[in-house]
Amino acid sequence: MLNSLERLRLDVESLCNYHVHLIPREKAEAYCLFAQSPAQAINEGNVWQIYILESLSSKERIEAEAHELGHLLVYYRPPGLITMDSIVMFDEDMQELIGEIDNAIQHKLLIDELKTRYNISSGLHIQLMETSLKDIRAEIRNLVDKKNNKLLHAMGVYLFDIARTNMNASARVDQKLQLNTTVKHAFNAAQLHLSQIKLGQSQTIQRQSVNRFMRDIGYEEELDYFFL
């Protein structure tokens, strides 16, 4: 009988091609892996390469692999969750904002799916995101000094992602929201619009929710971003 991770692997294999690699600590930097981000998936030639820090415990490795597979599952399984890209090439700030939006849409949904369908916990991911809260005050101060509204919006979406996936972090997230009105506005807009997106929802409805969110924080489809 297949265990939960094996079932998840087979389900994702039916949707896309991927390979999983364990990366030793001494090579972690070359794969952009570190303690706060111990796994990632990169699309290389239509094959997803999943890189995971070898130094994780066996339980953490399972969770890390399941999390990356969960991203692929909710993206490829019809009708799939939408993603965006920046209109302006090499606009790294917009790319980061879009990345945070994609994550904020996907994380809650894939975490719930992993738990209900495969009985796989996401404790590692939730813990790492909560740990990152300790650096938020300094990051917001730096972004305010640089007058970088895109990344302040991205910060608001990131805090929404944390609060949405970890009720225990709500009080700490709320403290960070009081530091900047731009961050708080993006958080509230994400809570209002992005939380409306569900698994199995048509991409047309998903796009409407994302467009409402983006307009709320000052961006327009085909001027600032487009849907893939």
Q: Does the pLDDT value for residue 1 go beyond 60?
A: no
| pLDDT digits 0-9 by tens, 148-183 | 999 999 999 999 999 999 999 999 999 999 999 999
| pLDDT digits 0-9 by tens, 36-69 | 999 999 999 899 999 999 999 999 999 999 999 9
Q: Report the percent of the chain where pLDDT is more than 70.
A: 99
Buried b / exposed e across 43-55, counting CB within 10 Å, b at 16+?
Answer: eeeeebbbbbbbe
- Identify the pLDDT of residue 181: 98
Mean pLDDT of 130-155: 96
At residue 227 the predicted structure's pLDDT band, cuts being 50, 70 and 90, is: very high
Give phi and psi for 18, each to the nearest 5.
Answer: -155, 160
Give the Cα separation of 98 and 83 in Å (integer): 8
Record the tokens describing residue 80, joined without a space.
Answer: 């799939």
Write down the mean pLDDT value for the chain. 96
**137 membership: H or E segment, kind and range:** helix 136-145
- Identify the pLDDT of residue 133: 95
Mean pLDDT of 104-121: 97
Mean pLDDT of 174-194: 98
- Identify the pLDDT of residue 95: 96
- Identify the pLDDT of residue 25: 94
- Identify the pLDDT of residue 2: 62
- Identify the pLDDT of residue 228: 92
- Identify the pLDDT of residue 40: 96
Record the tokens describing residue 82, joined without a space.
Answer: 């939408």
Mean pLDDT of 10-23: 97
What is the DSSP secondary structure assignment for residue 67, as one 8-state letter? H
- Identify the pLDDT of residue 114: 97
81: closest CA among 57, 104, 63?
104
- Answer whether 104's CB lies under 8 Å from 160's CB: yes
At residue 89 the predicted structure's pLDDT band, cuts being 50, 70 and 90, is: confident
- Answer whether 136's CB lies under 8 Å from 159's CB: yes
Where do the H-state alpha helices sit in 1-135? 4-13, 58-76, 92-118, 123-131
Q: Does the pLDDT value for residue 74 go beyond 80?
A: yes
Q: Does the pLDDT value for residue 106 go beyond 80?
A: yes
